[in-house]
Structure 1
Amino acid sequence: MEAAVNDYLTYLAHDQGRSANTVASYRRDLGRARRFFNHQGLTDWGRVDQYAILNLVADQRQAGRSPATINRLLAALRQFYHYLVRQRRVQFNPMELVDNEQPTTRKQLVVLNEAEVHRLLAVPQPGDYLANRDYALLSLMAATGMRVSEVVNLRLADLHLDIKMVRLGAGSKGERLVPVSAAAVAALNDYLANVRPHLVADGENAVFVNAHGHHLSRQGIWKNLKARVAAAEIKKPVTPQTLRYSFAVHLLHNGADSRLVQEMLGYSDLRVLQPYLKMTAHELSLNYQRHQPWK
């Protein structure tokens, strides 16, 4: 069973271009399921049926796992069994007979208003190299809705600032070009010309580097953002994802088509932003009624 999981993880990383964090998440969830099934005497994925999976769900509930965590485990198993069926390693997909946990109550989305974003960007005042770096980084995140993993993995070759574009997800299935605002381009150009050369270590091609000259980590971005939020006296629980959602909401409230926002963010759907789509959905409906041919 472990060999099948390892083959699947290799497939995700190399053939599907999934991020290291995504692969690690699948490894944890599938490893947890495999250990449970092994403990139940099941040593082949083809012998796992819907009852074994329901026993797994019951075990996770008893262990105090949240519905969201159990749903994530089931989603990992669902995708894994699709792979096993396609590879003809099993003949039957037991996940077809298993529903998700009851839908969880979605936490209220934390979004910064435009004034709060301006306050956040005003905090890293030019004056030292790291402050200039953070200003460029936050400006780029606020202007593009980039994921923190995309910021970490951004390389110099991904920047096309002459045409105000950035390439995201290079080498993966989700690769896309995203436009960048003039203000963010100016901040990036200043950072690249006047700051990064003083920080970067030899051979490092990451756009954003730490004080030691190597690529800035996810943890580093979170830590720096937390300090900037406190300095800006913003009381909301702000994370890098908050900047991503705020970017999308600002676009929607300024009249952007939801399909544009979907293309920018690389989402498969926009359900997480549903509370902010009401006005835009109404506008799209009016536009449809005006232009649809079957009047």
Structure 2
Amino acid sequence: MTDNITIPEALQHHVTTYLNHLMIERGLSDNTLAAYRRDLQRYLRYLAQERVDDVTTITAHHLAGFLQALSSGSHNMGNLAQSSVNRVFIAARGWHRFMFLENTTSTNPAAEIKPPKTGQQLPEGLSIDEITRLLDTPPIDTAQGLRDRAMMELLYATGARITEAIDLDVDDIVHLDDDDTTVVRLFGKGSKERIVPLGSYAQRAVDAYLVRGRPKHAAGGKGSPALFLNRFGGRLSRQTGWNVLKQAAEDAEITAEISPHTLRHSFATHLLQGGADVRVVQELLGHASVTTTQIYTQVTADTLREVFAYAHPRAQG
């Protein structure tokens, strides 16, 4: 994508106003806001190439052209997957809706335009055997190994997003005296809090890290309240957390593609395979709508169909 395009200040101002709305009124996370900003900058570059410098002159024709450019890669839009095309277009559509509702424009040019439907992308998780190998990889005789194992055990035990885990403070691990249960206070999108129980494996890993690992990392810092610390005593970064997972997968000889969301996907899939109710999994994952969670039921349904096809004596013939 070329950088030799001057974006009109008026258009940039309206996008900044919208991003401020998303941050203040809707409480979106920094990562989500950054994604909106990138997507809307792509739209502004397209409009600049079309010599549009006034938001009130944008028409449905411009939106349709932008969607076509995203899909074809013209106008230096890059070679995007269809899911990315939809995401960028939805950001532009939300911006237009906001400006219409705020009376900045008298019409909403995006009202009747919808991105093309795509096939449902099923999340990929690891098998229970792969999860076990992965979680057993970090050594427990070093502060870093104790931290890495505790972090991965917590990710799989709670279904937390990597950012949610990195943002945890020590005080967010709560021991309930009445029934000897440990829970985690997670803060998801929009700073929405949810309480998730911590299983015994993860609890032991976190306790071991707090007793024998974290104090060694904390000694080099300035008293950070963060649960997971780097070797300088500061809060662990999201990128370092991702690298920990990637290295553990390599050490465990796991060939499947792995990302920070892999343990979250595995958490949801294994719960549903074990008989958990989809609405319980929805609460644990922090999904606003059960529809989002139901994608995992498709994963387990596919597994059931496969097992049936091979195992039932009259499934084929």
Taking the TM superposition and a 5 Å limit, the aligned residue runs for 1:276-287 are 276-278=299-301
Counterpart pick for 1:199 among 217, 222, 243: 217
Residue by residue, what CA displacement relative to the aligned partner does 1:227-260 show, whole Å, maximum 9, x if unpaired? Answer: 1112112221122211111000110011100011
Do 1:125 and 1:131's aligned partners in 2 also have CA atoms closer than 8 Å? yes
Do 2:242 and 2:260's aligned partners in 1 also have CA atoms closer than 8 Å? yes
Q: Distance in 2 between matches of 1:66 and 1:170?
A: 27
State the match for 1:251 in structure 2.
Answer: 271
Counterpart code for 1:77: A
Counterpart pick for 2:65 among 55, 64, 85: 55
Residue by residue, what CA displacement relative to the aligned partner does 1:122-149 show, whole Å, maximum 9, x if unpaired? Answer: 1113110000001110110010111111
Which portions of structure 1, spanning 4 or more consecutive aligned residues, are displaced by more than 6 angstroms?
none
Counterpart code for 2:244: N
Do 2:226 and 2:235's aligned partners in 1 also have CA atoms closer than 8 Å? yes
Taking the TM superposition and a 5 Å limit, the aligned residue runs for 1:27-106 are 27-63=37-73, 64-104=79-119, 106=121
> In the alignment, does 2:285 pair up with 1:270?
no
State the match for 2:157 in structure 1.
Answer: 143
Going from structure 1 to structure 2, the CA distance change for 1:36 and 1:171 (only over 3 Å counts) comes to closer
Do 2:40 and 2:88's aligned partners in 1 also have CA atoms closer than 8 Å? yes
Taking the TM superposition and a 5 Å limit, the aligned residue runs for 1:156-167 are 156-162=170-176, 163-167=181-185
Going from structure 1 to structure 2, the CA distance change for 1:44 and 1:176 (only over 3 Å counts) comes to farther
Going from structure 1 to structure 2, the CA distance change for 1:256 and 1:137 (only over 3 Å counts) comes to same
- Overall identity of the aligned pairs, in %: 32
Do 2:186 and 2:195's aligned partners in 1 also have CA atoms closer than 8 Å? yes
TM-score with structure 2 length normalisation? 0.81
Do 1:257 and 1:280's aligned partners in 2 also have CA atoms closer than 8 Å? no
Larger helix proportion of the pair: 1
Do 1:16 and 1:173's aligned partners in 2 also have CA atoms closer than 8 Å? no
Counterpart pick for 1:189 among 207, 213, 226: 207
Report how many residues are paired: 281
TM-score with structure 1 length normalisation? 0.87
Taking the TM superposition and a 5 Å limit, the aligned residue runs for 1:173-184 are 173-184=191-202
Do 1:252 and 1:276's aligned partners in 2 also have CA atoms closer than 8 Å? no
Do 1:67 and 1:103's aligned partners in 2 also have CA atoms closer than 8 Å? yes
Deviation, 1:173, is: 4.8
Residue by residue, what CA displacement relative to the aligned partner does 1:95-139 show, whole Å, maximum 9, x if unpaired? Answer: 221111341463x53221212211111111311000000111011
Q: Which runs of no fewer than 5 residues in structure 1 stay unpaired?
A: 282-295
Counterpart pick for 1:129 among 137, 140, 143: 143
Counterpart code for 2:298: P
